[in-house]
Structure 1
Amino acid sequence: MTTAHPRLTLTACILASSLAFIDGSVTNVALPAIGADLRATPAELQWTINAYLLPLSALLLLGGGAGDHFGRRKLLIAGIALFALASAACAVASDLGLLLAARALQGIGAAILLPNSLAVLSNAFTGPERGKAIGTWAAAGAIAGAVGPPLGGWLVDAVGWRAIFFVNLPVAAVAIGIVWRYVDEKVEGTLPLDWPGAATATLALGALTWGLTLWSSQGMLDLQTAAALAAGLALIAAFVWIERRRGPRAMMPLSLFASRAFAGLTLLTFLLYGALGGVLLLLPYVLIEAGGYTALQAGLALLPLPIGIGLASRLMGSLTTRLGPHLPLSIGPLIVAAGFAALLLVETSADYWTSVFPGVTIIALGMSCVAAPLTTAVLASVDDRHSGTASGFNSAIARTGGLIATAVAGAVIASAGSALIAAFHAAALVGGAMAALSGAAAWFTLGAQSPPPPR
């Protein structure tokens, strides 16, 4: 271990990242209540999620690079503080426009704190202890994201939707206190920042998200939608050109993709976390709107996710240190795909234990095989100097997958009654196919990898 307070460092990193993970899912069960209170349409409700995911996806790479440049401890504290201020603004927002602006600020704060929490953690441990710590961090993040819906449901029913943002404040205060007092940092150097790349990535994701949201909510490809999608694709091409020109100074160095394993991990992350983000958004919404669940009941329906992931992820982190990531990253997504298929049992009047519980439990089992091995494999692929950039890139890909899934989910959210159930079934099949493809990507690109060497 390379820090005087490893356990407190782990605690601080878990608390910080939990803020971002919880807020990425807690809002899902509050959408009906927010829509009723602020008179928002289904298309506008999508932006309650997208306003958070867009800056988070686009700026994670820059957030990790900024930590490598200015210092990860400083950026971690700054990200937590910004997230807390934005949470307070969300809680007191008087209309949808103010709420969306505050959600965007939350996304910026999350983009700063997420990669730097993992980079600080990675620098605090060495050898087998690093695998265990990363496994614990990954498990806590997955649990936090899955605990969000039941926590949010209880708060919405008992207090109101604004409470889901107020609860972030004490957690942020404790996290800042621990980081300020106990977290050490060994400065690794000052890597350059890529402002042109960050701006282009943000514009590209914004255009794509806008176009996909319009297409999914309207069910048609009009001139405005086509123009937004074309602009997004053109900006992606421009982003790749900029990153190629900048070489090692790029926020997404294209040389990373010379590694077959790194390319496979990127594809796996995008497909699997896109599918998972879609179901975490749609399932609570469907249960409330078509199944007659309360917000609390819809949140509790996802409880097997944090329990299953929490019980297995730390163990998987240790196993990955000894055995390597190939098998868990190949088999886990296939189990997730089976869980999505089981969600076809969800019907308007079906019993929870026979319709929802089996699918959610199987998904939890599959994700517990993925969370820690994926994080460990990504960090093992780069040197310590670039750990912030690497963790930021992988998190950005995961959030981008969720962002695209949320944008397309408008086609489901805009439905009602039996049509809503049918649309959800179609979405579950698409999610299952994405998960299966992610497992295939791991199998064919990782190969029989040996365990990463101690660092």
Structure 2
Amino acid sequence: MSTSPPLTAESGRMGAGAAGMLAVLCGAIFLEGVDAAMLNIALPSIRAELGLSTTTLSAVVSAYVLAYAGLMLLGGRVADIYGKRKVFLTALAVFLLFSGLGGFATEGWMLLTARFVTGAAAAFMTPAGLALISGSFPEGLQRNRAVLIYAGTASAGFSLGLVIGGLLSAVGWRWVFFAPVIVSAILLVAGLKLIVENKESIAPRQRFDIAGAVTLTGAMLLAAYTLTRLEHATGELSWTIATAGASAVLWLAFILIERTSRAPLMRLGIFRSASLVRSNLGAMLFTGAFFGFQFIVSLYLQELLGWSAFETSLALIVIGMDAILAPLLTPLLVERFGNGRVVLGGFAFAVAGYALFLGMGLDWTYAAMLPSTILLGLAFSLGYGPLTIIATEGIAENEQGLASGLVNTSFQFGAALGLSAVSAVGTLALGDGDSPSERLEALRTALLIPVAATAIGMIIMSFGRSRCADASCRLQAG
């Protein structure tokens, strides 16, 4: 196996080997996005066949998010130390096996186990995949193109997963689990042949920071769990406060451990990178706003307008235009204007899209909501990829896995926070009301959260706007 990245030199174009490796990595991140989205559409069918309670059904979704968010940083650091290729392929194999277990589930605990382990596998696979790109493609034009294609594929996976989930659920909900098994197997075989790794990007083998790993994972899991419980805080306030407090204690313990450890799991000095901090905050706000918006739109279309789940997924498919625009248009815009300016454009489109949807009414047609979905498709095309680039630029090669884990964690926590925030605000705004007009007004109030989040994100990212005049400087600007 070659140990150097299969790239062409001066032209900036990818060689066949590089393109093949990128295709496998994009296939994996597309699979992860599709897998997460498909399950949401299949939940009613799963409940009908297995007779699951609402609490268990919600836990099936939460189990994946908790494992994914809680183990992401650990996954990134393990990839740095033990090798991105090895970690990526191992995690993909685990993803395959436990997705299959979910398809054979006959009890709720089997689904919970399958989703938790699948989420854990994704937490190791995702930062390893992004770090393989960052460590294999030279910083600048080649890496920008590769990351933009990768990020566009990731966001498209979630958008198209809603439709794919609807189609598979019509055949049988178990295919929501079996289809990823087939795709994972193909990717695993291709990955064994096509994925190579520059050994210089592997951190020197060192004593593993067990104490840091345990406290970090516990802190992340409890923090993620607290976020998922925010919408139920009025009924279980003491439990929510307890988990938040326990998470805070573990975070403090983790910081103290990392400051004194000779081989820290996460070098705290990485946060001296202003672009890394800024892009992670932007990532949280960007995805938090979108996931909150999607939750609102799902309730609006299905509960107030009477649309089916499949019709709802088709209504949102326009947002998936980023699958085409992100790899084709965004690299040209980044080359011309720089990552910072392109990200600002993405946030501006998002603010406009959410604000336009504030006019939703009980008599709205699809044509009335189409401008918002188009604007959000443009927002993801311009925002997701450049945010990812900014988060990993200027970071040492042996910490690319850590930086990749950080930004992906921010995306996941943003999603959890956005969902909880709009749910809590919508519930508070509705109060005891239950008429269609009152429910509509509550949804409009909740929609202010995505509008505010993207506006704040736009302000944060504006501080990092590149002031470079020449194109090569702009390409690397955060």
- Aligned positions of 1:108-119 closer than 5 A: 108-119=120-131
Deviation at 1:440, TM superposition (A): 0.7
2:234 maps to 1:219: yes
User: Quick check: 1:365 aligned with 2:378?
Assistant: yes
Alignment partner for residue 252 of structure 2, among 232, 237, 241? 237
User: Highest Rg: 1 or 2?
Assistant: 2
Matched, 1:9 2:24: no
Once structures 1 and 2 are overlaid, which stretch shifts more, 110-119 or 317-326? Answer: 317-326
Residues 129, 435 of structure 1: CA spacing in aligned structure 2 closer, same or farther, 3 A cutoff?
Answer: same
Offset at 1:285?
A: 4.8
Provide the C-alpha distance between the structure 2 equivalents of 1:152 and 1:417, rounded to a whole number of angstroms.
Answer: 31
**1:6, distance to aligned residue in structure 2 (A):** 1.0
Distance 1:38-1:275 versus aligned 2 partners, 3 A rule: farther
C-alpha displacement of 1:286: 4.2
Please say if residues 82 and 109 of structure 1, whose CA atoms lie closer than 8 Å, have aligned partners that are also in contact. yes
Q: Contact 2:68–2:123 (CA<8 Å) still a contact in 1? A: yes
Residue in 2 that maps onto 1:131: 144
String of CA shifts for 1:89-122, please: whole Å, max 9, x gaps.
2222223332122111111110111111122223
Alignment map for 1:443-454 (pairs within 5 Å)? 443-446=462-465, 448=467, 450-452=473-475
Tell me what 1:439 maps to.
458
C-alpha deviation, 1:322, in angstroms: 5.0
Is 1:148 matched up with 2:171? no
Report the equivalent of 1:74: 86
Q: Which moved more, 1:215-224 or 1:438-447?
A: 215-224
Contact kept in structure 2, 1:43 and 1:217, CA below 8 Å: no
Q: Does 1:257 align with 2:271?
A: yes
Distance 2:226 2:392 in 1: 33
CA shift in 2, pair 1:312/1:15, >3 Å = closer
Alpha-carbon separation, structure 2, partners of 1:397 and 1:281: 19
Structure 1: runs of 5 or more not aligned: none
Letter in 2 for 1:223: S
Residue pairs, 1:29-40, within 5 angstroms: 29-40=41-52
Change (3 A) 1:41 1:282: farther
Moved more, 236-245 or 300-309: 236-245
Q: Which deviates more from structure 2 when the two are superposed, residues 213-222 or residues 375-384?
A: 213-222
SS across alignment from 1:5: helix
Residue 269 (structure 1) aligned to one of 283, 308, 312:
283
Change (3 A) 1:287 1:108: same
- Residue type at the aligned position of 1:6: A
- Tell me the residue number matched to 1:299: 313
Equivalents in 2 of 1:381, 1:103: separation in Å?
35
Deviation digits for residues 154-199 of structure 1, max 9, x if unmatched?
222x213222121101211111111111222221233544433332
- The correspondence of residues 420-439 of structure 1 with structure 2, limited to 5 A, is 420-439=439-458
1: CA distance, partners of 2:443 / 2:47: 20
Q: Would the aligned equivalents of 1:150 and 1:301 in 2 still touch at CA under 8 Å?
A: no
Q: Which moved more, 1:189-198 or 1:296-305?
A: 189-198
| Cα distance in 1, alignment partners of residues 359 and 39 from structure 2 | 25
Cα distance, 1:144 vs structure 2 = 0.9
Secondary structure at 1:250 match in 2: coil
Range with bigger deviation, 384-393 or 214-223: 214-223
Offset, 1:293? 2.0
Equivalent residue for 2:408, pick from 368, 391, 395:
395
State which drifts further: 231-240 or 430-439: 231-240
1:341-356 equivalence runs, <5 A: 341-354=355-368, 356=369
The share of aligned pairs that are identical, in percent, is 27
Equivalent residue runs for 1:160-239 within 5 Å: 160-188=172-200, 189-191=202-204, 192=206, 193-217=208-232, 219-220=234-235, 222-239=237-254
- Which residue in the other structure is 1:85 paired with? 97
* Range moving further from structure 2, 58-67 or 193-202: 193-202
Letter of the 1:10 partner, please give it: L
Q: TM-score by structure 2 length?
A: 0.86
2:396 to 362, 368, 383: 383
Give, as a single letter, the amino acid of the residue that structure 2 aligns with 1:374: L
Secondary structure at the aligned position of 1:369 is classed as helix
Which residue number corresponds to residue 12 of structure 2?
Answer: none
Distance 1:282 1:42 in 2: 19
Matches within 5 A, 1:327-346: 327-346=341-360
Q: Tell me, in whole angstroms, the C-alpha distance in 1 between the residues paired with 2:391 and 2:122.
A: 20
Whether the 8 Å CA contact 1:135–1:314 is kept in 2: the answer is no
Q: After TM superposition, give the deviation of residue 453 of structure 1 in Å.
A: 5.2
* Contact residue 128 and residue 318 of structure 1 kept, 8 A: no
Distance 2:87 2:111 in 1: 25
Hey, what does 2:10 align to over in structure 1?
none
Q: Counterpart of 2:223 in 1: which secondary structure?
A: helix
* Aligned partners of 2:275 and 2:391 also within 8 Å: no
CA contact (8 A) 1:200 1:236 kept: yes
Cα 1:222–1:379, aligned 2, differ >3 Å: closer, same or farther?
A: closer
Normalising by structure 1, report the TM-score.
0.90
Number of equivalences: 451
- Asked whether the 8 Å contact 1:269–1:398 carries over to 2, the reply is yes
Greater Cα shift, 415-424 or 92-101:
415-424
Assess, with a 3 A threshold, how the Cα gap between structure 1 residues 360 and 8 changes in structure 2: closer, same or farther: same
